[in-house]
């Protein structure tokens, strides 16, 4: 008999499918280093899985393989449990492509522990401060507004507000993938954020989610610049800067796009803001000119 289990990736998580977008998500928080690495699994167009308690990581990739092969969430769970001699130690939540959910809380999971279902989601927790923790998650998720990532965050924050992990807190993760299987296997991952070690992991996860949203807006802006719709692109940049005001990248690349479009007065304002943050941005602009990425007036790069 082992003196201690290998993995104690416990506490609380939620798996869910967004009925409008089809997106799948997993969110988790624990007093355990890098909890998302072991617990959180999702595949675009297939489903999402949280595997926790005394973790058997194989439930993640194996479960997704079974879902992709046509099994329902319940069928996949039952097959994996039947093959696992450690099933009494496991806690697992699964949502499949049809929004069907399944969960298991083994009889040897550490209390407070339980799982609960809702429309298209499952919440589960163990080693909790009390049953209030898992009971808080479903209503919070159902009552939250916004996209799937936001509602998953609200569920985690509600659980922490109800007492969280009896041991405290250390790490958290948020994973959201698309509802459709992409043409290329590296596509379809919407959000993949990890807080590995922090005294307030959910606070940090919330901050990272805001930054991720800012970069998503700026990615759209870059595509819109490329399509030649500069005014629409500038509106997206403004929205990105509201979420992350101090991001110099946004200033620099907006300035480059405007310079390349011949809108020199506007370009100078954006570029000078970037150059004022650090002269290295001016050096980068000169290097971009050398390779043909910066095609605007070279005078814009001079002090």
**Region of residue 302 (phi > 0: left; psi between -120 and 50: alpha; otherwise: beta):** beta
Give the phi and the psi of residue 297 in degrees, each rounded to 5. Answer: -60, 120
**Same domain (yes/no): 224, 96:** no
**Same domain (yes/no): 23, 108:** yes
**Same domain (yes/no): 187, 220:** no
Q: Which of 157, 172, 199 is the last residue of a domain?
A: 199
Q: Which of 199, 227, 249 is the last residue of a domain?
A: 199
**Same domain (yes/no): 161, 90:** yes
Tokens representing 217?
């807006």
Asked whether residue 116 is assigned to any structural domain, the reply reads yes
Contacts for 263-266 with beta carbons within 8 Å, 24 or more apart? 263/230, 264/296, 264/297, 264/300
**Same domain (yes/no): 105, 189:** yes
**Same domain (yes/no): 184, 252:** no
For residues 37 and 7, the answer to whether their CB atoms sit within 8 Å is: no
Tokens representing 79?
């097959």
Start-end of H helices in the chain: 35-39, 59-68, 73-82, 132-143, 148-161, 201-226, 230-243, 248-260, 264-277, 280-290
Range of the domain at 97: 11-199
For residues 36 and 46, the answer to whether their CB atoms sit within 8 Å is: no
Q: Which of 199, 233, 264 is the last residue of a domain?
A: 199
Kindly report the number of other CB atoms within 10 A of residue 53's CB atom: 29
Distance CA 135, CA 176 (A): 23
**Same domain (yes/no): 287, 151:** no
What was the pLDDT predicted at 9?
Answer: 61
Asked whether residue 165 is assigned to any structural domain, the reply reads yes
Closest CA to 194 of 32, 49, 3: 32
**Same domain (yes/no): 23, 125:** yes
**Same domain (yes/no): 26, 58:** yes
Predicted confidence pLDDT, tens digits, the chain (303 residues): 454 455 666 689 999 999 999 999 999 999 999 999 999 999 999 999 999 999 999 999 999 999 999 999 999 999 999 999 999 999 999 999 999 999 999 999 999 999 999 999 999 999 999 999 999 999 999 999 999 999 999 999 999 999 999 999 999 999 999 999 999 878 899 999 999 999 999 999 999 999 999 999 999 999 999 999 999 999 999 999 999 999 999 999 999 999 999 999 999 999 999 999 999 999 999 999 999 999 999 999 998
For tokens 């899985």, name the residue: 49
Closest CA to 5 of 71, 65, 60, 55: 55
Number of domains in the chain: 2
User: pTM of whole model > 0.85?
Assistant: yes
Q: Note the Cα 223 to chain centre separation in Å.
A: 22
CA dihedral (193, 196, 201, 207) in degrees, to 10, reads -40
Asked whether residue 124 is assigned to any structural domain, the reply reads yes
Q: What Rg, from alpha-carbon coordinates, does the chain have?
A: 23
Asked whether residue 2 is assigned to any structural domain, the reply reads no
CATH number at residue 91: 3.60.20.10
């Amino acid at each position: 008999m082992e003196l201690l289990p290998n993995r104690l990736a416990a506490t609380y998580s939620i798996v869910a499918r967004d009925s409008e977008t089809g997106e799948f998500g997993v969110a988790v928080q624990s007093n355990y280093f890098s909890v998302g690495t072991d617990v959180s699994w999702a595949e675009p167009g297939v489903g999402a899985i949280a595997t926790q308690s005394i973790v058997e990581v194989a439930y993640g990739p194996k479960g997704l393989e079974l879902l992709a092969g046509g099994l329902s969430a319940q069928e996949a769970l039952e097959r994996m449990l039947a093959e696992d001699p450690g099933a009494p130690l496991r806690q697992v939540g699964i949502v499949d492509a049809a929004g069907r959910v399944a969960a298991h809380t083994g009889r040897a999971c550490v209390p407070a522990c339980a799982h609960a279902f809702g429309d298209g989601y499952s919440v589960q927790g163990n080693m909790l401060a009390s049953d209030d923790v898992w009971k808080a998650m479903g209503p919070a998720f159902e009552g939250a507004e916004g996209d799937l990532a936001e509602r998953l965050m609200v569920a985690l924050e509600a659980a922490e507000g109800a007492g969280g992990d009896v041991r405290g807190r250390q790490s958290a993760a948020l994973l959201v993938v698309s509802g459709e299987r992409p043409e290329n296997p590296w596509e379809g991952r919407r959000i993949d954020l990890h807080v590995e070690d922090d005294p307030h992991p959910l606070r940090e996860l919330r901050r990272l989610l805001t930054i991720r949203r800012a970069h998503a807006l700026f990615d759209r802006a870059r595509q819109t610049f490329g399509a030649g719709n500069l005014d629409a692109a500038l509106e997206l940049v403004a929205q990105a800067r509201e979420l992350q005001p101090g991001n110099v990248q946004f200033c620099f690349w907006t300035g480059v796009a405007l310079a390349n479009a011949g809108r020199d007065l506007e370009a100078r304002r954006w570029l000078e803001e970037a150059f004022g943050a650090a002269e290295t941005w001016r050096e980068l602009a000169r290097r971009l000119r050398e390779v043909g990425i910066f095609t605007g007036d070279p005078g814009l790069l001079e002090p």
